[in-house]
A and B are shown apart, each in its own frame.
Chain A
Amino acid sequence: MEAKTLFDKIWDAHVVKKVEGGPNVLYIDRHYIHEVTSPVAFLGLKTRGLKVFRPEKTTATPDHNVPTINQHLSITDELSRHQVEMLKKNCHEHGIVHHGLGTEGHGVVHIIGPEMGLTQPGMTIVCGDSHTSTHGAFGAIAFGIGTSEVEMVLASQCIMQPKPKKMRVTINGELGKGVTAKDIALYIISKISTSGGTGHFIEYAGSAITNLSMEGRMTLCNLSIESGARGGMIAPDETTFEYVKGRQFAPKDEEWETTLANWKELKSDKDAVFDTEYTFDAADIEPMITYGTNPGMGIGVTRPIPTTEGMEGSDKTTYLKSLQYMGYHEGDTMKGKPVDYVFLGSCTNGRIEDFRAFAAFVKGKKKAGSVTAWLVPGSKAVENQIKAEGIDKILVEAGFELRQPGCSACLAMNDDKIPEGKYSVSTSNRNFEGRQGPGARTLLASPLTAAATAVTGVISDPRELM
């Protein structure tokens, strides 16, 4: 039998039909929806006179538009409120489970799915959000789709997709002190660029990957899209099974045993061939920070901003435009530059482990007076866990306060916007121009680097303060 990759195995098992000269009709096991990319899809169904085909396979929550303080009050922005209400109405009409604002199940869609055990190994998972790649951490094929495709899934539980190429990124060795999954991701993207993964689906492998917790794996897979890849995945192992076991929607009892036996088969065959392969050494990875306006513009926090030497044409123009936006210059050292805002949260770093790491770092220290810090749990469950573990008290003692769950300052769609010209060290996923607010300047980093920066007020290397 032909050797197959993990990706091949799951993909091939979900192909309903191969369209001649066209894409595959791919069956979708799990569909997540939120308020921004679903209303036009529901409208499309209405126009066509269609019902949702398999409502039990879709789960909804509003996250992009929601405020992260005073969630018990009505949303003040009229358009945001309308979109959030539309999601609830559409779900109610079509029999879709909806975790509304303020409820125990509420949170960022990519955080609540895994928490509830809805995300499982071997599944095909889609959502109208590019960071759906997060769920690949469980050994699932998970990727972001457009609104037309959201409508397809609602109407038929299928989408039409050409099968992507396969890439393997192997990271061997042990990560150094203060180096996290976020740093691995930013390091990979800095090496292969924001288009290096385009047309591919990534499988992450190697000892540095298998040693990651599920939270770390989710952070890494989450950022796969930033390399241009449709998604990233990691073969499920004991860490995965341990995480899934006992969760609300995980298989139970006898079903657990049979399912587990199947999940254990989910790995790439030894001789499987990948279209593209990269191998990196974990020891080369430092705490990373971005200095430009795409996630590929990242460097070790102690390094200087690369110069334009060797660049020409539009490469050089684009690079200089980016530095100009950031207010930085070639050769500048990032460490020590002042920062105005620190954001901990988002589908990238809004999980309990991220809050534990941040809190452990700032314990006994004080937030710098010049820094405004927004600490936003990814879900109500994360918020509850933070309180149960007493992390909130540590944060308060260090001068921080906790907000309520949502996408928050990741994308400048709700009230949490970074003002024009201000610098924000952010644990989120994109540093595009204006991503956190018109004119805002985003520096992507790990929760540890964010914590170190929050207490010093300048870009800092967490290793020096641990």
Chain B
Amino acid sequence: MAYDKFSTIKTPAVPLPIENVDTDQIIPARFLKAVERKGFGDNLFRDWRYQKDGSPKTDFPLNNPKYSGKILVGGKNFGSGSSREHAAWAIYDYGFRVVVSSFFADIFKGNALNNGLLPVVVSPGFLQKIFDAIEKDPNTEFEVDLENQTFTILAGDESEQFEINPYKKHCLQNGLDDIDYLVEMKSQIVEFEKNKSCRFEAC
């Protein structure tokens, strides 16, 4: 799926200091009925963001006008639960390009990387510093530099390195996806099928 190439961004961030934010909160199942990848951002955090009558819950960070930016900062174990890629689509479609947490669930992390949404894992201490910086000044800016794999709190000039698989980094920087890669190696896959040991499968 095509997405924007990722290089460096400098932006404020939106805080969501809740742990175990699961994919049912990111996008409830009743909003997964589309057959195209469009408009999921409207229902991002639907039940936390809106009242039953559709009016916004004013205390939810996404509805608070003082917060803005392309970075979402979540508590630990972000994205647990279902494999719905709609969760990554919704966050991206809303306008975020980075999600920061001290810990991500595996499937969510993979889905984010496949969709141009960069999951940044920082230490629990650094995560708290990010929350504190936003608390102090909601307009404070952060820099995410993918090339150098750094996340910087610009106001305090505090920085932390983050890990990313070199292959995935290359994909994000160039807007590439795995499907192109796999389709290109099809002859190798056919070869594998021919030579595949049948020991573990009834071929």
Which chain A residues have a beta carbon within 8 Å of chain B's beta carbons? Answer: 9-10, 13, 16-17, 19-23, 25, 27, 29, 36-37, 39-40, 43-44, 48, 50, 53, 64-65, 77, 79-80, 82-83, 86, 120-123, 128-130, 132, 144-149, 151-152, 155-162, 164, 194-195, 198-199, 228, 230, 250-251, 255, 259, 262-263, 265-266, 294, 314-315, 317-318, 321, 411-413, 420, 430, 432-435, 438
Question: Does B165 belong to the interface (CB within 8 Å)?
Answer: yes
B2-57 interface with A by 8 A CB criterion: 17-20, 22, 24-25, 28-30, 32-37, 47, 52
Partner of B106, one of A128, A129, A159, A230: A230
Apart from A147-B86, A195-B20, A314-B18, what 5 extra A-B contacts exist at CB < 8 Å?
Answer: A22-B167, A146-B84, A149-B178, A156-B186, A294-B22
Q: List 19 A-B contacts (CB under 8 A).
A: A20-B167, A23-B165, A23-B168, A40-B85, A120-B201, A129-B82, A148-B179, A152-B178, A156-B179, A156-B185, A158-B182, A160-B178, A195-B77, A262-B198, A317-B18, A411-B29, A413-B33, A433-B25, A438-B47
How far apart sit A147 and B111, CA to CA, in the bound complex (Å)?
8
Whether B114 lies near A149 (C-beta < 8 A) is: yes
List of A residues within 8 angstroms of B129 by Cβ? none
B72-129 interface with A by 8 A CB criterion: 75-77, 80-86, 88, 103, 105-107, 110-111, 114-115
Nearest chain-B residue to A90 (Cβ)? Answer: B35
With most chain A CB atoms within 10 A of its CB, the pick from B29, B80, B168, B202 is B202
3 nearest A-B pairs in the assembled complex, by CB-CB distance = A22-B167, A122-B200, A21-B166
Whether B199 lies near A265 (C-beta < 8 A) is: yes
The A-B contact count (CB < 8 A) is: 216
State how many angstroms separate the Cβ of B15 from the closest Cβ of chain A. 11
Interface size class of B (residues with CB under 8 A): 35 or more
Nearest chain-B residue to A195 (Cβ)? Answer: B77
- Knowing A129-B83, A146-B114 touch, does A412 contact B201 (C-beta < 8 A)? no
How far apart sit A22 and B84, CA to CA, in the bound complex (Å)?
23
Nearest chain-B residue to A132 (Cβ)? Answer: B83
Nearest chain-A residue to B52 (Cβ)? Answer: A438
List of B residues within 8 angstroms of A16 by Cβ? 185, 188-189, 192
How far apart sit A79 and B35, CA to CA, in the bound complex (Å)?
9
Whether B111 lies near A148 (C-beta < 8 A) is: yes
List of A residues within 8 angstroms of B193 by Cβ? 27, 157
Whether A130 lies near B107 (C-beta < 8 A) is: yes
Partner of A82, one of B35, B52, B167, B197: B35
Whether A65 lies near B33 (C-beta < 8 A) is: yes
- Knowing A194-B20, A194-B80 touch, does A27 contact B199 (C-beta < 8 A)? no
List of B residues within 8 angstroms of A266 by Cβ? 200
Partner of B83, one of A9, A39, A144: A144
List of B residues within 8 angstroms of A157 by Cβ? 189, 193
Nearest chain-A residue to B131 (Cβ)? Answer: A314
How far apart sit A269 and B88, CA to CA, in the bound complex (Å)?
39
How far apart sit A21 and B164, CA to CA, in the bound complex (Å)?
10
Nearest chain-A residue to B198 (Cβ)? Answer: A262
Question: Does B183 belong to the interface (CB within 8 Å)?
Answer: yes
Whether A130 lies near B81 (C-beta < 8 A) is: yes
Whether A146 lies near B111 (C-beta < 8 A) is: yes
- Knowing A40-B37, A121-B200, A198-B103 touch, does A412 contact B20 (C-beta < 8 A)? no
Nearest chain-B residue to A39 (Cβ)? Answer: B35
How far apart sit A435 and B200, CA to CA, in the bound complex (Å)?
37
How far apart sit A394 and B107, CA to CA, in the bound complex (Å)?
42
List of A residues within 8 angstroms of B75 by Cβ? 314, 318
List of B residues within 8 angstroms of A44 by Cβ? 1, 179
Whether B200 lies near A251 (C-beta < 8 A) is: no
List of B residues within 8 angstroms of A251 by Cβ? 202
- Knowing A37-B83, A43-B35, A195-B76 touch, does A25 contact B185 (C-beta < 8 A)? yes
With most chain B CB atoms within 10 A of its CB, the pick from A17, A121, A129 is A17
Question: Does B177 belong to the interface (CB within 8 Å)?
Answer: yes
List of B residues within 8 angstroms of A438 by Cβ? 28, 47, 52
- Knowing A23-B167, A432-B25, A435-B24 touch, does A262 contact B200 (C-beta < 8 A)? yes
Nearest chain-B residue to A65 (Cβ)? Answer: B33
How far apart sit A449 and B162, CA to CA, in the bound complex (Å)?
45
Whether A83 lies near B35 (C-beta < 8 A) is: yes
Whether B185 lies near A17 (C-beta < 8 A) is: yes
How far apart sit A259 and B199, CA to CA, in the bound complex (Å)?
7
Partner of A25, one of B115, B179, B182: B182
Partner of A123, one of B30, B34, B201: B201
Nearest chain-A residue to B115 (Cβ)? Answer: A148
List of A residues within 8 angstroms of B202 by Cβ? 120, 250-251, 255, 259
Nearest chain-B residue to A251 (Cβ)? Answer: B202
- Knowing A21-B167, A262-B200 touch, does A50 contact B20 (C-beta < 8 A)? no
Nearest chain-B residue to A256 (Cβ)? Answer: B202
